[in-house]
Structure 1
């Protein structure tokens, strides 16, 4: 008897599911507002409103469905202090619109510098100010901070300072 399929059975490539995209898996876990900022026109331009909402839902459900199939462990992440800086500016060599900073302990933010506009501040004054913020975080929590662990550039359209010339009606 001749078998219709070769042994062992290998599905035809056209009928095999696409592998899961790790980037989409991570994106599905964050709020859509944050995902749109990171992956939208101001971010890596990956966001496609025609497919991303459904895809995010698929990835969330898939991770829920598979949760019982593999054992999970939790290992507490090291609780170290680090600071991050948020720069509200257009991409490229454009002036800084606003800035903000946060101090984190492990996986949680513990202190936040409210955002300020940077109108009229020179690069030197901005650098001095950000160093003063690090010193204030260090003094407040009795720790040593020498630099920001990471800096995130965010489009000025998302500036949270009010009043703001980019958002006059808010």
Structure 2
């Protein structure tokens, strides 16, 4: 049975020779042997390239379904909502974006009504049925993209 591959040598083979000598030479861990290491590094590089060609890869197109996501710009916990935005996705790509708006002075009911209108607008524009947001992401208000913004004075 062949000797197992040395993980340290596998990592070393990926480095340029000068860097490998510094890391593994007298200043490093001392394992560098000029009589062995050049051939060993070459073996490990070729071995890695050969192995990658032996495994077939397959790509299967994921089902293309419409879904909406909601972005809430707010501090964690029970803090007020700073801003909100939304996106409509088809499969793995966003296809429509509602630019974020500030939520200052909006009650919870008005925000709920607004987010429902956004879903209806996405559904009408693309002729699909959307009943709710697939996911909601809470983002720190410091990343608010709306300008002008009280958190980002000009």
Q: Does TM, scored on the shorter chain, surpass 0.5?
A: yes
Larger Cα-atom Rg = 2
Write the distance in 2 (CA, Å) between the matches of 1:68 and 1:99: 47
Q: CA RMSD in A?
A: 2.2
Provide the residue aligned with 1:115 in structure 2.
100
Specify every segment of 5 or more residues in structure 2 that has no aligned partner in the other structure, as ranges: 9-48
Seen in structure 2, the aligned counterparts of structure 1 residues 68 and 115 have a Cα distance that, compared at 3 Å, is: farther
Provide the residue aligned with 2:138 in structure 1.
153
Residue by residue over 1:78-125, the C-alpha shift from the partner in whole angstroms, topping out at 9 and shown as x without a partner, is 010000000000000000000000000000000000000000000000
Write the distance in 2 (CA, Å) between the matches of 1:111 and 1:163: 23
Deviation at 1:71, TM superposition (A): 1.9
Provide the residue aligned with 2:77 in structure 1.
92
Deviation at 1:69, TM superposition (A): 5.3
Residue by residue over 1:28-85, the C-alpha shift from the partner in whole angstroms, topping out at 9 and shown as x without a partner, is xxxxxxxxxxxxxxxxxxxxxxxxxxxxxxxxxxxxx785453211000101000000
Specify every segment of 5 or more residues in structure 1 that has no aligned partner in the other structure, as ranges: 1-8, 18-64
TM-score (norm 1): 0.61
List 4+ stretches of structure 1 deviating above 3 A.
Answer: 65-69
Write the distance in 2 (CA, Å) between the matches of 1:144 and 1:120: 30
Deviation at 1:16, TM superposition (A): 7.7
3-state DSSP of counterpart to 2:149: coil
Residue 75 in 1 paired to residue 60 in 2? Answer: yes
Deviation at 1:154, TM superposition (A): 0.2
TM-score (norm 2): 0.67
* Count of aligned positions: 113
